[in-house]
Structures are given as C-alpha cells and as structure tokens.
Copies of this chain bind each other. A is one copy, B any other.
Amino acid sequence: MTSVNRPRGVYSPVVTPFTKDLLPDHDRYVRHCRWLIEQDVGLAVFGTNSEANSLAVSEKMKLLETLVGADIPVDRLMPGTGCSALTDTVELTRHALSLGVNNVLTLPPFFYKGVTDDGLFRSYAQIIERVGSDALRIYLYHIPPVSQVPLSLALIERLLAAFPGVIAGVKDSSGDWSNTQAMLERFQPHGFDVFAGNENFLLATMRAGGVGCITATGNVNPAAIVQLYRHWQSTDADARQAALDATRAVFAKFPMIPALKAAIGVYSNDSDWGVVRPPLVDLTPVQCDALATALREIGFSMPGVEVPA
C-alpha cells in the first residue's frame, strides 16, 4: 500500500485570508501557500484552521483551482472535503480528483451527534462509491473536540477492510495520545498512515512509526517543525520538540485561528491578514500587540514571509 509518493512529513491546514469584506483573498492565499511549499510544508487546505466549514463549496472549489492554476504541485495538496452534507462532500472530492489532487482529508458529517458506526461507515462508503475513482486516497479526520463526531478504532478497522486501497490514513486531532498510539499500533503496519494532529505529538508519533503531523502552527513556524521531522532520530530531538512546544504555547494563549492570521499580519506588515469570518472574531488590537510582544520575547521569526506589493 505504501509508496514513496504518499504524503508524509509536515502539513499545515492553510489559513484562508479574507478581504475586509470577508471574501477569500486569492492573492494572499497563493503567496502564503508558495511560502509554505518553500518551507517544505504540505498544504492541508480547507482544514479546521482554514475556516473551511465557514466557506461555501463553490468558494473552496475556486480556491483549489487557483492553487493548481498557480502551479502548486498537486501531490503537495491534501484538501479537506468533508462537509455536513453527503452531496457536498462528494462534489468537493470529485472536484479535487478532477484537478489531479488525489489525497483528501475527510471529516465525518458533523451535524448530528451520537451517530452510529454503521451510519459513519455508510457515509464514507457512499462517498467512495459515488466518487468512484481508484485514484482516491482518503485520510480520515478525527477531531472530536470540534466535530463532536469521533471515528472509533472499530470503524477504522471496518473501513480499512472494506476499502483497503482508498482509506489511506488519519489525522488524529483527538489530543489523546493513547488513541494515536492505538492507531499507530493497529493500523500503521497495514499501510494506514498516522499523522499527529499537531506538532506537540510529532516526536512521539515518529518514534512510534507514524508519518508526520498536520498542524495549525505549520502556518507560522514551518521551518522548525520540518527540522524536527527530518531529524527526529538525532540526539537533540527532545530539545527541538521542547522548543516547538514553547512556540506553540504562545499561540495557544490566544484563540488559535485569529492568532495565526494576526501573526502572519504582523510579520508581513499587513494587518488585514487578521480578518476571520464569523462565528470567529479577529484579535483585538490589544490582543494583537500582546501576541506580537510574546513572540518577540521568544525570538520568533517568519523568514521569507512576503509583504504584499
């Protein structure tokens, strides 16, 4: 099942820049994505930190078309395609494949709570059958703190058995290491690639046989995270992990998505970057200053972030 072309390493749920009028800003988006690619970070566009579920299907399709049209390599993209509605998920997944983007990160339908494994199995099965492409590789997106719809180990086992070529891996954003560990032990040996849900678990995940992490702070601290991924077997790996944790802790003092965008705004001298869609709220100027001060204090930098013309 595994091949050299399978996604691994560090991916980031790319934050989606908006104009002041709350519309997706394609120019800033392409610049940010190119910078991430230069840092060797893959693009998990349309993730939780991308405000993906605050975007219409058509808005996501246009953004993906823009990236592919801007020569972002299709094998470095892993768009989120999981929506609340089956028909939306099928449309987004088909659209990604039509652009040559085969790896997708797919939330379960997240409106109903307490749904059964039978219902979730049926949901992924319908997506796979309706898309009907051997090229499709689905990465399951397990993020119960937000989706409130967990993907159980029993469900994953059943999906892997039914669709062994298509169910390709997971992003585990449970925040529960014992769950990540169980996935690594039970499924990684069968070609099911486990990504940690953030860099706090990157070293532990690599040591346990995983393939990397997909992390919000990849948007702002990509180089250091990639360095740990590359050198996880080196003697200074624990120190590198501690440094990553310290940087992430600064962002975690603020609402994460507005803070990521505000930081990009600060380091690119472009405060409009801080705009988020409701129900999120931009950082206040006071919060933004506090973030900037805290980042200066730890010597944080974003080398190469482009200031828009």
Contact = CB atoms under 8 A, between A and B. Distances in A.
Contacts of A87: 55-56, 59
A115 B280 contact: yes
A129 to B, nearest CB: 11
A112 B22 contact: no
Nearest to A59: B87
Given A56-B87, A118-B281, A111 B110 contact: yes
A112 to B, nearest CB: 6
Interface in A1-22: 22
Interface in A230-284: 277-281
Nearest to A257: B112
A197 interface: no
Interface in A115-135: 115-116, 118-120, 122-123, 125-126
In the complex this chain forms, how many copies of it are found? 2
B279 A88 contact: no
Given A22-B126, A145-B113, A278 B53 contact: no
A39 interface: no
Given A86-B22, A119-B279, A123-B278, A91 B56 contact: yes
A66 interface: no
A119 B56 contact: no
A146 interface: yes
Contacts of A99: none
A281 B122 contact: yes
A54 interface: yes
B54 A279 contact: no
Contacts of A22: 86, 126
A117 B140 CA distance: 31
Interface of A: 22, 48, 53-57, 59, 83-88, 91, 108-113, 115-116, 118-120, 122-123, 125-126, 145-149, 277-281
Given A113-B146, A148-B148, A149-B279, 10 more contacts: A22-B126, A83-B84, A108-B279, A110-B110, A110-B111, A112-B146, A112-B280, A113-B148, A119-B278, A123-B279
